[in-house]
Amino acid sequence: MFSKSNKKSAADNKPAPPPAPPSIVSRDLSIVGDLLSDGEIQIDGKVNGDIRTRILIVGESAKVKGEIVAETCHVLGRVDGQIKAKVVKLADTAHVVGDILHEDLSIETGAFLEGHCKRMVIPEDVHKAEKDAAQDTAKPKPQAGASPKPAPATAK
């Protein structure tokens, strides 16, 4: 009589949409400002700003100045700033000035690195953790030691 239905809705049976093609910053393009993507970004030009994405490829001709947060970061060009990614690969043409926070790091012979490397566990969904943190800071917090005032007593 009262049973839970095991039928799945039609929305559950739909296949996931195909991944979007990578966003490309071409060699002749310079960007001043932050980049945010849930997909893949390939940079061959110049970026002066922070980058947050799932997959980042910094091409040989690229110059990035700012913080990078990604799941995977493959550097072939120049990066001035901190890299925080689960997987970081520095090619032999890479030139990185800044710290690298990573789970997995590979550095090819010939790559230039000036900074510290620190292994740490990075959350699977970097964007989700950052969005949650941003939402928490937007919520008003009760003041410490403040308590609601009791209603005044009435005499009968």
CA separation for the pair 92, 42 (Å, rounded):
18
- What is the model's pLDDT at position 9? 54
Is pLDDT above 90 for 46?
Answer: yes
State residue 27's pLDDT score.
96
Sign of the C-alpha dihedral computed for residues 80, 106, 43 and 17 taken in this order? negative
pLDDT at residue 129 greater than cutoff 60: no
String of DSSP letters for 23-84: EEE-TT-EEES-EE-SSEEEESSEEES-EE-SEEEE-TT-EEES-EEEEEEEESSEEES-EE
pLDDT of 79 over the 80 cut: yes
Confidence of residue 104 (pLDDT cuts 50, 70, 90): very high
- The helix, strand and coil proportions of the chain, stated in percent and rounded to the nearest 5, come to 10, 40, 50
What are the residues whose beta carbons fall under 8 Å from the beta carbon of 30, sequence distance 6 or more? 45, 46, 47, 48
pLDDT at 121: 83
pLDDT tens-place string over residues 6-32: 555 555 667 777 778 899 999 999 999
Non-local (6+) Cβ contacts of 138 within 8 A are none
pLDDT (0 to 100) of residue 3: 59
In the chain, pLDDT over 70 holds for what percent of residues? 69
Hey, where are the domains in the chain? 20-123
Cβ atoms within 10 Å of 53's Cβ, excluding its own? 25
